[in-house]
Structure 1
Amino acid sequence: MDIWNLAIRIIFLSQTTTGILGNLLLMFYYLVLYYKEYTLKPTDLILMHLLAANTLVILSAGVPQTMAVWGLKQFLNDFGCDLLLYIQGFARSVSIGTTCLLSVFQAMTLSPRKSFWNDNKVKASNYVKCSISLLWVFYMVIRFIFFVYNFIKMNSKNMTRNQDFGYCSIVGRDEISDSLYIVLVMCPESFFAVLITWSSASMIVILCRHKRRVQNIRSSHGSRRNYPESRATQNILVLLATFLAFYMLSTILRGCIALLYNHSWWLVYISRLTSLCFPCFVPFVILRHYPILSLFSLIWLRK
């Protein structure tokens, strides 16, 4: 067996397994919180839906791709392939939209008292559930349009080249589907990326200003601990860097694959690996706040 093929198989298997376990672990934690308290803080609610969307992305994209690289190829028919791509698409879009909602809500929460957002903090908390529901419904409808269009195109006589995903293949894109994808998917995702960047940068500025204001007080005690402001700033930077690095890189690679007729399978593998990195790594970024032993201890105490 070629060493590079074996490396690809191990990477896909380890990435998919750790991603599923990490997301399910934190989802279980938030479900325990909801079962015991019958309510969740807005931030916890957003995180739970983000983890649910990430789990769907990994199950619909990571699992079949892992099966394909381990030798089980073309095991889905045309309808199954379209359905799986439908789940992949709307779960990925919901993940991006929920990440944007989380970032904007945190920026509003940390905003100073004299800012414009201070008067809307309570309203934003009340609208979180509605916003999350709208995200799920909106992208289910948007992706259903692509699902129906691909089904109609599959039964037509004018068929373009196929797109091979390893585990299945579908009819290739045309000008209409590309235009719909740009307007209905790429434009909202780009807008969400801009909002995430702006809100995350705002939070970092607010936390840095607060840290400077209290720095003289803390330095008088001679303490060098890692204060909450520093930890929060680091976590925001990690989330921002993770999102921008992996989702933007994934978008660029997908564009290259769509434009190149004779692309290498290595480009396809790298594109699919990067598209799974954000859903797989987010639980471990969140776990920076909840060490694993403390997490299980908290669940046990709540029982």
Structure 2
Amino acid sequence: MSSLRIVLNFQVEFGVLTNLFLLVFYTFTILSYRPKPTDMISCQLTFIHIVLLLTGMDIWLRDIFGSLNIDNDFKCKTTFYITRVMRGLSMCITCLLSVFQAVTISPSSSLLARFKYKLKHDLIYAFLFIWSFNLLFNSTRIFYAGAFTNVSETNQMKVTKFCSLFPMNYIIRALILTVAISIDLFLVGVMLASSVYIVIILFRHQRQLKHLHSHSHLRTSPEKRATQTILLLVVFFVVMYWVDFIISSTAVLLWMYGPVTLSVQQFVMNVYPTITPLVQISSDSRIINMVKHMQSMCHQIFKKR
């Protein structure tokens, strides 16, 4: 368990640092230059992943609540609520990113083309709806979460080291699970549908360029690079979602979470927010050019010395 805990801590620290770098980059880009609409979406996704990584390991909330002597039950409810909200936001924003890119690259003759300019101007409303929905929907769950106690342990299901879910009415539990799974399946379905559409569009572009004997334009196209990045992110998310879904569903059915199961599930949940900034950094030409420029400046400085 100690080695697994070290891996988890390294995963969180590395993920937070890379996401912080991206958050600073997107913030300066949005404030200083003419940002792309995807920059606004990616900036929110980066912020969400920072909070998700920190709350998942219960690092900063534990320090804050510990210094303020706040009740463990309140701390547990707050941590559980924030984690669920951030997980839902991560899924919704990733879905929005894939849909936005599908609309952006759609040809002018397609049905999606009519939403191209409308979606850009209505992004703020999409953000407000996504945040409001996740904040409200997950608020019902905090009533069934609380600090773990040694009393009636068989009636509690540990979801973190110090937090557990208490028994609830079977109908209420079934209703919450049904609605939550339905929403998740809908969002994953939209992601997959938009990804398939994107692949079809890229395949058609590839065939047209082959016909025109102009391969180089497609390879250096920033639009294609951004599209491939989003496709890769969607694939990562869907795979990690189903692995997490299988683990959590098995635990809920058995009404039992072991320490190893908790750690493995935490590792799986952290993979997507940790991998996402690496994919974005490696595929964004602006970041690559910025790093190259900084390297050349450092080289000139050392050369003068």
Q: Structure 2 length as normaliser, TM-score?
A: 0.81
Tell me: CA distance 1:226–1:7, structure 2 relative to 1, closer, same or farther (3 Å): farther
1:287 aligns with 2:281: yes
Shift of 1:16: 0.2
Distance 1:146 1:225 in 2: 48
- Counterpart of 2:260 in structure 1 is 266
Match among 6, 11, 16 for residue 12 of structure 2: 16
Distance 1:266 1:158 in 2: 22
1:142 aligns with 2:146: no
Shift of 1:18: 1.1
**Equivalent residue pairs, number:** 282
User: Where in structure 1 are there 5+ consecutive unaligned residues?
Assistant: 68-74
Distance 2:109 2:213 in 1: 25
User: In 1, are the aligned partners of 2:282 and 2:288 still within 8 Å (CA)?
Assistant: no
Distance 1:118 1:203 in 2: 13
Distance 1:23 1:177 in 2: 37
- Counterpart of 1:31 in structure 2 is 27
Distance 1:195 1:89 in 2: 21
User: In 2, are the aligned partners of 1:162 and 1:169 still within 8 Å (CA)?
Assistant: no
1:91 aligns with 2:86: yes
SS of aligned partner of 1:287: helix
Shift of 1:173: 4.0
- Counterpart of 2:95 in structure 1 is 100
Superimposed CA distance per residue, residues 172-200 of structure 1 (whole angstroms, 9 cap, x where no aligned partner): 34225523432442211111000000001
SS of aligned partner of 2:283: coil
User: In 1, are the aligned partners of 2:85 and 2:134 still within 8 Å (CA)?
Assistant: yes
SS of aligned partner of 2:108: coil
Q: After the TM superposition, which of the residue ranges 263-272 and 246-255 deviates more from structure 2?
A: 263-272
Shift of 1:241: 1.9
Amino acid at match of 1:77: N
Match among 38, 62, 66 for residue 43 of structure 1: 38
User: In 1, are the aligned partners of 2:240 and 2:268 still within 8 Å (CA)?
Assistant: yes
Amino acid at match of 1:217: L
Amino acid at match of 1:7: S
Root mean square deviation, CA, Å? 3.2
Distance 1:299 1:148 in 2: 51
- Counterpart of 1:275 in structure 2 is 269
Distance 2:71 2:209 in 1: 59
Distance 2:86 2:2 in 1: 29
Amino acid at match of 2:76: C
- Counterpart of 1:62 in structure 2 is 57
Superimposed CA distance per residue, residues 199-231 of structure 1 (whole angstroms, 9 cap, x where no aligned partner): 011101101110111124336x8x699443764
Tell me: CA distance 1:76–1:202, structure 2 relative to 1, closer, same or farther (3 Å): farther
- Counterpart of 1:117 in structure 2 is 112
Distance 2:111 2:244 in 1: 35
Tell me: CA distance 1:173–1:193, structure 2 relative to 1, closer, same or farther (3 Å): farther
Q: After the TM superposition, which of the residue ranges 167-176 and 123-132 deviates more from structure 2?
A: 167-176
User: In 1, are the aligned partners of 2:16 and 2:53 still within 8 Å (CA)?
Assistant: yes
Tell me: CA distance 1:115–1:43, structure 2 relative to 1, closer, same or farther (3 Å): same
Shift of 1:21: 0.9
Distance 2:224 2:23 in 1: 26
Distance 1:36 1:10 in 2: 39
User: In 2, are the aligned partners of 1:160 and 1:173 still within 8 Å (CA)?
Assistant: no
Distance 2:71 2:6 in 1: 23
Amino acid at match of 2:164: I
Amino acid at match of 1:258: V
User: In 2, are the aligned partners of 1:64 and 1:167 still within 8 Å (CA)?
Assistant: no
SS of aligned partner of 1:170: strand
SS of aligned partner of 1:112: coil
- Counterpart of 1:196 in structure 2 is 191
1:210 aligns with 2:218: no
Shift of 1:271: 1.3
